[in-house]
Structure 1
Amino acid sequence: MKYLFLQYPKCSTCQKAKKWLDENDVAYDDRHIVEQNPSAAELKLWLDRSGLPLKRFFNTSGLLYKSMELKDKLPAMSEQEQLALLATNGMLVKRPLVVGENFVLAGFKPAEWEKLK
Protein backbone atom coordinates (compact mmCIF):
# COMPACT_ATOMS: atom_id res chain seq x y z
CA MET A 1 0.00 0.00 0.00
CA LYS A 2 1.34 3.39 -0.99
CA TYR A 3 0.09 6.44 0.91
CA LEU A 4 -0.10 10.12 0.03
CA PHE A 5 2.13 12.16 2.34
CA LEU A 6 1.44 15.89 2.33
CA GLN A 7 4.07 18.00 3.99
CA TYR A 8 5.91 21.31 4.06
CA PRO A 9 9.65 20.54 3.81
CA LYS A 10 10.72 23.36 6.17
CA CYS A 11 8.38 22.12 8.93
CA SER A 12 10.35 20.27 11.62
CA THR A 13 7.38 18.03 12.46
CA CYS A 14 7.06 17.10 8.79
CA GLN A 15 10.77 16.29 8.70
CA LYS A 16 10.37 13.99 11.71
CA ALA A 17 7.33 12.34 10.10
CA LYS A 18 9.16 11.76 6.82
CA LYS A 19 12.10 10.26 8.68
CA TRP A 20 9.68 7.96 10.55
CA LEU A 21 8.08 6.84 7.27
CA ASP A 22 11.49 6.10 5.74
CA GLU A 23 12.80 4.28 8.83
CA ASN A 24 9.66 2.14 8.95
CA ASP A 25 9.76 1.32 5.21
CA VAL A 26 6.37 2.88 4.56
CA ALA A 27 5.81 3.54 0.84
CA TYR A 28 4.43 6.99 0.03
CA ASP A 29 4.07 9.65 -2.63
CA ASP A 30 5.43 12.95 -1.35
CA ARG A 31 3.43 16.13 -2.02
CA HIS A 32 4.51 19.66 -1.11
CA ILE A 33 1.41 21.07 0.58
CA VAL A 34 2.09 24.67 -0.50
CA GLU A 35 3.19 24.04 -4.10
CA GLN A 36 0.31 21.58 -4.61
CA ASN A 37 -2.33 22.82 -2.20
CA PRO A 38 -5.20 20.40 -1.61
CA SER A 39 -8.43 21.31 -3.40
CA ALA A 40 -11.70 21.82 -1.56
CA ALA A 41 -12.96 18.53 -3.07
CA GLU A 42 -9.89 16.64 -1.83
CA LEU A 43 -10.23 18.18 1.62
CA LYS A 44 -13.94 17.23 1.80
CA LEU A 45 -13.11 13.64 0.83
CA TRP A 46 -10.31 13.48 3.40
CA LEU A 47 -12.49 15.06 6.07
CA ASP A 48 -15.16 12.39 5.54
CA ARG A 49 -12.54 9.63 5.49
CA SER A 50 -10.78 10.86 8.63
CA GLY A 51 -13.69 10.98 11.06
CA LEU A 52 -12.07 14.12 12.49
CA PRO A 53 -13.74 17.47 13.08
CA LEU A 54 -12.97 20.03 10.36
CA LYS A 55 -11.07 22.20 12.83
CA ARG A 56 -8.37 19.49 13.01
CA PHE A 57 -7.51 20.23 9.37
CA PHE A 58 -6.53 23.81 10.19
CA ASN A 59 -2.96 24.67 11.16
CA THR A 60 -4.09 26.54 14.26
CA SER A 61 -0.52 27.30 15.37
CA GLY A 62 0.41 28.81 12.00
CA LEU A 63 1.16 32.48 11.49
CA LEU A 64 -1.34 32.78 8.63
CA TYR A 65 -4.15 31.27 10.74
CA LYS A 66 -3.39 33.74 13.52
CA SER A 67 -2.97 36.79 11.26
CA MET A 68 -6.32 36.04 9.61
CA GLU A 69 -7.92 35.77 13.08
CA LEU A 70 -9.55 32.50 12.06
CA LYS A 71 -10.10 31.39 15.64
CA ASP A 72 -12.86 33.99 15.81
CA LYS A 73 -14.12 33.65 12.22
CA LEU A 74 -14.38 29.88 11.71
CA PRO A 75 -17.37 29.27 14.03
CA ALA A 76 -19.52 31.54 11.85
CA MET A 77 -18.46 29.87 8.59
CA SER A 78 -20.17 26.90 6.95
CA GLU A 79 -18.26 23.68 6.29
CA GLN A 80 -18.20 24.53 2.58
CA GLU A 81 -16.77 28.00 3.30
CA GLN A 82 -14.12 26.53 5.59
CA LEU A 83 -13.08 23.94 3.00
CA ALA A 84 -12.88 26.64 0.32
CA LEU A 85 -10.71 28.74 2.64
CA LEU A 86 -8.39 25.80 3.39
CA ALA A 87 -8.00 25.23 -0.35
CA THR A 88 -6.65 28.74 -0.87
CA ASN A 89 -3.32 28.21 0.89
CA GLY A 90 -1.44 25.11 2.01
CA MET A 91 -0.06 27.01 5.00
CA LEU A 92 -3.56 26.95 6.50
CA VAL A 93 -3.70 23.14 6.39
CA LYS A 94 -2.56 21.01 9.33
CA ARG A 95 0.50 19.02 8.40
CA PRO A 96 1.73 16.50 7.85
CA LEU A 97 -1.18 14.56 6.42
CA VAL A 98 -1.14 10.90 5.47
CA VAL A 99 -3.96 9.80 3.21
CA GLY A 100 -4.84 6.13 2.85
CA GLU A 101 -7.73 4.39 1.12
CA ASN A 102 -9.95 4.48 4.19
CA PHE A 103 -8.29 6.84 6.65
CA VAL A 104 -6.48 10.16 7.01
CA LEU A 105 -3.97 11.07 9.71
CA ALA A 106 -3.55 14.76 10.53
CA GLY A 107 -0.41 15.78 12.40
CA PHE A 108 2.41 13.49 13.48
CA LYS A 109 1.65 11.18 16.37
CA PRO A 110 3.93 8.10 16.07
CA ALA A 111 1.51 5.89 18.05
CA GLU A 112 -1.28 6.63 15.53
CA TRP A 113 1.08 6.14 12.60
CA GLU A 114 1.93 2.57 13.69
CA LYS A 115 -1.03 1.34 11.63
CA LEU A 116 0.81 2.43 8.46
CA LYS A 117 3.33 -0.40 8.80
Structure 2
Amino acid sequence: MTIKAYLYDKCGTCRKAKQWLNQHNIAIEEIPIVDAPPTEDELRSMWQASGLPLTKFFNTSGQFYRELGLKDKLPSMTEDEMLKLLASNGKLLKRPLVSDGKTVTVGFKEEEYEKAWGGR
Protein backbone atom coordinates (compact mmCIF):
# COMPACT_ATOMS: atom_id res chain seq x y z
CA MET A 1 0.00 0.00 0.00
CA THR A 2 1.15 3.51 -0.79
CA ILE A 3 2.43 5.58 2.09
CA LYS A 4 0.81 9.01 2.02
CA ALA A 5 2.75 11.82 3.64
CA TYR A 6 0.84 15.03 4.26
CA LEU A 7 3.54 17.69 4.40
CA TYR A 8 3.95 21.47 4.43
CA ASP A 9 7.04 22.58 2.51
CA LYS A 10 7.77 25.50 4.87
CA CYS A 11 7.73 23.21 7.91
CA GLY A 12 11.14 22.19 9.26
CA THR A 13 9.70 19.13 10.99
CA CYS A 14 8.17 18.00 7.69
CA ARG A 15 11.53 18.39 5.96
CA LYS A 16 13.21 16.28 8.67
CA ALA A 17 10.56 13.57 8.32
CA LYS A 18 10.87 13.55 4.52
CA GLN A 19 14.66 13.35 4.79
CA TRP A 20 14.37 10.42 7.22
CA LEU A 21 11.98 8.57 4.90
CA ASN A 22 14.25 9.22 1.90
CA GLN A 23 17.36 8.03 3.78
CA HIS A 24 15.53 4.80 4.61
CA ASN A 25 14.44 4.35 0.97
CA ILE A 26 10.77 4.57 1.85
CA ALA A 27 8.72 5.71 -1.14
CA ILE A 28 5.95 8.16 -0.29
CA GLU A 29 3.16 9.95 -2.06
CA GLU A 30 3.76 13.53 -0.98
CA ILE A 31 0.56 15.52 -0.45
CA PRO A 32 0.55 19.24 0.41
CA ILE A 33 -1.39 19.32 3.70
CA VAL A 34 -2.56 22.93 3.31
CA ASP A 35 -3.72 22.62 -0.31
CA ALA A 36 -5.13 19.09 -0.07
CA PRO A 37 -5.90 18.14 3.55
CA PRO A 38 -7.33 14.67 4.18
CA THR A 39 -11.11 14.37 4.09
CA GLU A 40 -13.22 13.73 7.18
CA ASP A 41 -13.46 10.04 6.27
CA GLU A 42 -9.70 9.76 5.69
CA LEU A 43 -9.04 11.49 9.00
CA ARG A 44 -11.49 9.23 10.82
CA SER A 45 -9.72 6.16 9.43
CA MET A 46 -6.26 7.52 10.30
CA TRP A 47 -7.37 8.51 13.79
CA GLN A 48 -8.88 5.08 14.47
CA ALA A 49 -5.80 3.30 13.09
CA SER A 50 -3.44 5.48 15.13
CA GLY A 51 -4.83 4.66 18.56
CA LEU A 52 -4.18 8.29 19.52
CA PRO A 53 -6.66 10.71 21.06
CA LEU A 54 -8.19 12.86 18.32
CA THR A 55 -6.82 15.99 20.00
CA LYS A 56 -3.29 14.81 19.07
CA PHE A 57 -4.13 15.54 15.42
CA PHE A 58 -4.40 19.28 16.12
CA ASN A 59 -1.46 21.61 15.47
CA THR A 60 -1.68 23.24 18.90
CA SER A 61 1.24 25.58 18.20
CA GLY A 62 -0.31 26.94 15.01
CA GLN A 63 -1.56 30.48 14.60
CA PHE A 64 -4.97 29.37 13.29
CA TYR A 65 -5.47 27.08 16.31
CA ARG A 66 -4.86 30.05 18.63
CA GLU A 67 -7.01 32.44 16.58
CA LEU A 68 -9.97 30.07 16.82
CA GLY A 69 -9.47 29.65 20.58
CA LEU A 70 -9.50 25.88 20.18
CA LYS A 71 -7.69 25.24 23.46
CA ASP A 72 -10.91 26.18 25.24
CA LYS A 73 -13.35 24.85 22.62
CA LEU A 74 -11.98 21.34 21.94
CA PRO A 75 -13.01 19.79 25.27
CA SER A 76 -16.69 20.44 24.53
CA MET A 77 -16.60 19.49 20.84
CA THR A 78 -17.83 16.14 19.53
CA GLU A 79 -15.51 13.87 17.54
CA ASP A 80 -17.53 14.62 14.39
CA GLU A 81 -17.13 18.37 14.94
CA MET A 82 -13.37 17.97 15.46
CA LEU A 83 -12.99 15.84 12.32
CA LYS A 84 -14.99 18.33 10.25
CA LEU A 85 -12.82 21.19 11.54
CA LEU A 86 -9.56 19.33 10.86
CA ALA A 87 -10.67 18.46 7.32
CA SER A 88 -11.62 22.10 6.66
CA ASN A 89 -8.13 23.55 7.10
CA GLY A 90 -4.80 21.77 6.67
CA LYS A 91 -3.06 24.30 8.92
CA LEU A 92 -5.02 22.91 11.87
CA LEU A 93 -3.45 19.46 11.38
CA LYS A 94 -0.31 18.48 13.22
CA ARG A 95 2.26 17.65 10.62
CA PRO A 96 3.70 15.66 9.12
CA LEU A 97 0.84 13.19 8.97
CA VAL A 98 2.00 9.88 7.46
CA SER A 99 -0.18 6.83 6.83
CA ASP A 100 -0.29 3.64 4.81
CA GLY A 101 -3.86 2.90 5.87
CA LYS A 102 -2.84 0.71 8.81
CA THR A 103 0.04 2.58 10.43
CA VAL A 104 -0.21 6.30 11.22
CA THR A 105 2.33 8.74 12.61
CA VAL A 106 1.54 12.31 13.62
CA GLY A 107 4.47 14.70 13.94
CA PHE A 108 8.06 13.53 13.69
CA LYS A 109 10.07 11.70 16.31
CA GLU A 110 12.86 9.57 14.92
CA GLU A 111 12.23 6.69 17.34
CA GLU A 112 8.53 6.60 16.37
CA TYR A 113 9.44 6.61 12.67
CA GLU A 114 11.94 3.80 13.23
CA LYS A 115 9.24 1.74 14.97
CA ALA A 116 6.50 2.54 12.42
CA TRP A 117 8.37 2.73 9.12
CA GLY A 118 11.86 1.31 9.76
CA GLY A 119 11.14 -2.28 8.83
CA ARG A 120 10.04 -1.53 5.27
Letter of the structure 1 residue corresponding to residue 74 of structure 2? L
**Residue-by-residue CA offset, 1:73-92 (whole Å, 9 max, x unaligned):** 01111000010011110000
**Residue-by-residue CA offset, 1:39-93 (whole Å, 9 max, x unaligned):** 1111101000000000000000101001111000011110000100111100000
- Residue 24 of structure 1: how far off its partner (Å): 1.1
- C-alpha distance in structure 1 between counterparts of 2:40 and 2:101, whole Å: 18
- Residue 102 of structure 1: how far off its partner (Å): 1.4
Aligned partner of residue 87 in structure 1, secondary structure: helix
Paired residue for 2:17? Answer: 17
Paired residue for 1:104? Answer: 104
CA RMSD of aligned residues (A): 1.0
TM-score using structure 1 length = 0.96
Paired residue for 1:90? Answer: 90
- Residue 103 of structure 1: how far off its partner (Å): 1.5
- C-alpha distance in structure 2 between counterparts of 1:2 and 1:100, whole Å: 6
- Residue 101 of structure 1: how far off its partner (Å): 3.1
TM-score using structure 2 length = 0.93
Say whether the 8 Å CA contact 1:5–1:29 is kept in structure 2: yes
Aligned partner of residue 36 in structure 2, secondary structure: coil
Say whether the 8 Å CA contact 1:97–1:107 is kept in structure 2: yes
Paired residue for 1:33? Answer: 33
Letter of the structure 2 residue corresponding to residue 116 of structure 1? W
- Residue 104 of structure 1: how far off its partner (Å): 0.6
Paired residue for 1:6? Answer: 6
Say whether the 8 Å CA contact 2:45–2:101 is kept in structure 1: no
2:54 pairs with 1:68: no
- C-alpha distance in structure 1 between counterparts of 2:101 and 2:62, whole Å: 28
- Residue 2 of structure 1: how far off its partner (Å): 3.4
- C-alpha distance in structure 1 between counterparts of 2:103 and 2:21, whole Å: 16
Gaps of 5+ in 1: none
Gaps of 5+ in 2: none
